[in-house]
């Protein structure tokens, strides 16, 4: 998946319109980031990458870049 497509998918999942996201964006600083959005992101990753991420693994995620690393950088162009 292209990184830009992933960022757009993430924006849709988080229901963000007016915030530009990049690999350095700290997810925990986003107003829309809460426990429900974490579940939505986990579901989106499973759907798009076939990768299951536990809530416990998700606790180590801070930035979008660290999320991408957890998914596996080989999945991005």
How does pLDDT run across 36-70, given as a tens digit for each residue? 999 999 999 999 999 999 888 888 899 999 999 99
Greatest distance between any 2 Cα atoms in the chain = 29
CATH code (residue 12): 1.10.1200.10
Q: Cα(44)–Cα(41) distance, rounded to whole angstroms?
A: 5
Contact assessment for residue 51 and residue 71, using Cβ atoms and an 8 Å cutoff = yes
Predicted structure pTM score: 0.90
- How many domains, in total, are found in the chain? 1
Q: According to the model, what pLDDT value does residue 18 have?
A: 76
Give the domain extent around 7: 3-75
């Amino acid at each position: 998946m292209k990184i830009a497509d992933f960022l757009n998918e993430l924006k849709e999942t988080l229901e963000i319109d007016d915030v530009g996201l990049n690999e350095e964006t700290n997810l925990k600083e986003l107003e829309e980031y809460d426990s429900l959005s974490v579940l939505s992101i986990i579901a989106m990753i499973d759907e798009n990458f076939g990768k299951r991420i536990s809530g416990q693994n998700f606790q180590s995620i801070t930035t979008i870049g660290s999320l991408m690393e957890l998914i596996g950088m080989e999945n991005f162009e």
